Amino acid sequence: MLPVFYDFTNGHGILFGNGESWKEMRRFALANLRDFGMGKKVIEDKILEEIHYLIEVFENHKGKAFDTTQPLSYAVSNIISNIVYGSRFEYSDPKFKATVKRASVNLRIAGSVSIQLYNMFPWLGPWLKSRKLLLKNIENNKKEMRELVRGLKETLNPQMCRGFVDSFLVRKQTLEESGNKNSHYHDKNLISSVGNLFSAGTDTTGNTLRWALMLMAKYPLIQDRVQEEISSIIGSRQPLAEDRMNLPYTDAVIHETQRLASILPIAIPHTTSRDVTFQGYFIKKGTLVFPLLTSVLQDGSEWESPHTFNPAHFLDEEGRFAKRDAFMPFSAGRRVCLGESLARMELFLFFTSLLQRFHFSPPPGVTEDDLDLTPAVGFTLNPSPHQLCAVSRV
Ligand code: HEM
């Protein structure tokens, strides 16, 4: 299936690319993410390093209520930054802050009613202010990316690739030197792929973590159980990826957060690239297909209490972690999320480290019941604006 891409993406890169270009970019990005340690120790160390910066920000609030959105976005954006550029940014860096902000505003606009209408009636384009802002933000973020890529080009050492961009530039150079001037390794695909990795990997992971912390504040008994498990199995040392198998309750809570939050309810719309017959239904080439992930993640015939936060969905009778086939927040098939193993590692390490260190509660004067689980509408379903208190446990 081809992804449906809106005119503001230009159809390049991994996320919204298609055909041979997408295939090559996806293969290359996956190989690189693996080379740079996706799901392995290298990236685990980068995540652990980032957790220290994040904890410092949370501690600076000294238990007073604050919005977790920004620090979580900066932390997860820095993980992508390490993979893509080979370095992280300071949370106070004004260019970094502006880039993260523009990306998050764009995801909100991309899911807005006016852009949905525009996708159906493109002639509305010139009259839509939100589309203008979207395009302006994309252009400004591309400008930032081009500047960073230029810096990496100037200091490129083919023997020592720092990240995805270096590998891409080396491949481009090698192909050009061998006389291949028409490869998929051109600047447009580089910038689109870098942008795709940031937009696909930041808001998704950051907002899942926001949901998780909010759910802990809303359900303090569940939070207590997570913290008891972390205390008894890990104690005060840094949680590691290998601890997951010994923390079935914590793992179940993370899975249940993803199931209930269902942050990409319609995944990414695709169109069929040829006529297909699927489960007896004939689907014509070019038909728009929405893989409705929520219909599976909250299917009444699959889940005991589909609309309730119930970590027991992922536990067997002995309290061991139980996999469920209907758990597919990363979608499935050829276009399955490219960053799944990275995201799973990030969610586990950030969540356990934060829960080990802090107790999360609603701000004074706000009850647990007041914490509203109605999502804010956007390209991803995020928690509605809220604040939490992170009270140090050490
Ligand atoms: C909780 C975190 C995440 C969730 C729930 C999530 C979910 C998804 C979903 C549902 C899709 C669409 C699949 C489809 O088209 O059917 C997708 C695609 C994608 N994701 Fe993720 N994702 C997450 C994190 C990440 C991260 C950290 C990265 C960064 C490496 C990433 C990179 C991508 C890319 C590049 C695609 C497009 C793949 C393609 O079309 O070939 N995602 N993701």
pLDDT digits (tens, 9 = 90+) for 358-376: 999 999 999 999 999 999 9
Please state, in angstroms and rounded to a whole number, the distance separating the CA atoms of residues 215 and 245.
Answer: 22
Nearest one of 230, 369, 254, 355 to 313, comparing CA atoms: 254
- Is the model's pLDDT at 5 over the cut of 80? no
What band does 19 get if pLDDT is binned at 50, 70 and 90?
confident
- The yes-or-no verdict on residue 13 having pLDDT over 80 is no
For the sheet with 270-271, list strands across it: 2-3, 270-271, 288-289
pLDDT at 2: 59
Q: What is the pairing mode between strands 276-278 and 375-376?
A: unpaired
Q: Which of 176-185, 189-198, 253-262, 307-316 has the lowest mean pLDDT?
A: 176-185
Ligand 1 center–CA 107 separation, angstroms: 14
Q: Is 195 in the pocket of ligand 1 (CB under 6 A)?
A: no
How high is the pLDDT of residue 365? 97
* Cα–Cα distance for residue pair 197/193, rounded to 1 Å: 6
Give the chain's mean pLDDT: 92
337, amino acid identity: C
Show Cβ contacts of residue 176 under 8 Å, excluding neighbours closer than 6 positions.
none
- Hey, whose CA ends up nearest to atom 26 of ligand 1? 201
Q: State how far the Cα of 229 lies from the Cα of 390, in Å rounded to an integer.
A: 19
Alpha-carbon distance of 170 to 10, in angstroms, equals: 24
**Token representation of residue 24:** 């090559």
For residues 207 and 72, give the distance between their C-alpha atoms in angstroms, rounded to a whole number: 8
Tokens of 314: 């992922």
Alpha carbon of 23 to ligand 1 centroid (Å): 15
Binding site membership of 343 for ligand 1 (Cβ less than 6 Å)? yes
| Residue 205 CA, ligand 1 centroid: distance in Å | 10
Contact (Cβ atoms closer than 8 angstroms) between residue 91 and residue 60: no
State yes or no: pLDDT of 149 exceeds 90: yes
- For 83-129, write each residue's pLDDT tens digit: 999 999 999 999 999 999 998 888 888 888 888 888 778 888 888 89
* 204 C-alpha to ligand 1 centroid (Å): 8
Bridge-based pairing of strands 375-376 and 358-361 is unpaired
Protein residue closest via CA to atom 21 of ligand 1: 337
Q: How far apart are CA 236 and CA 199, in angstroms?
A: 34
The answer, yes or no, to whether any atom of ligand 1 lies below 6 A from the CB of 205, is yes
C-alpha 170/C-alpha 35 separation (Å) is 15
> Residue 271: CB within 6 Å of ligand 1?
no
Do 289 and 1 contact (CB within 8 A), yes or no?
yes
- Residue 4 reports pLDDT greater than 60: no
Give yes or no for residue 185 CB within 6 A of ligand 1: no
Concatenated DSSP letters of 247-275: -HHHHHHHHHHHHHH-SSTT---EE-SS-
Q: Is 201 helix (H, G, I), strand (E, B) or coil?
A: helix
Is 263 a pocket residue for ligand 1 (Cβ < 6 Å)? yes
Q: 84: part of which helix (H) or strand (E)?
A: helix 69-84
Establish whether 161 is an annotated binding residue.
no
Q: Is 194 in the pocket of ligand 1 (CB under 6 A)?
A: no
Residue 1 pLDDT grade (very low, low, confident, very high; cuts 50, 70, 90): low
Q: Which helix (H) or strand (E) holds 392?
A: strand 389-392
* 108 neighbors 134 (Cβ within 8 angstroms): no
Query: In 3D, which of 387, 385, 388, 386 has the Cα closest to residue 108?
Result: 385
Quote the pLDDT of residue 252: 98
2-392: what CATH class? Answer: mainly alpha
State how far the alpha carbon of 19 is from the alpha carbons of 13, 26, 99, 176, 186, in Å: 11, 11, 29, 22, 16
ipTM over 0.95? The verdict is yes
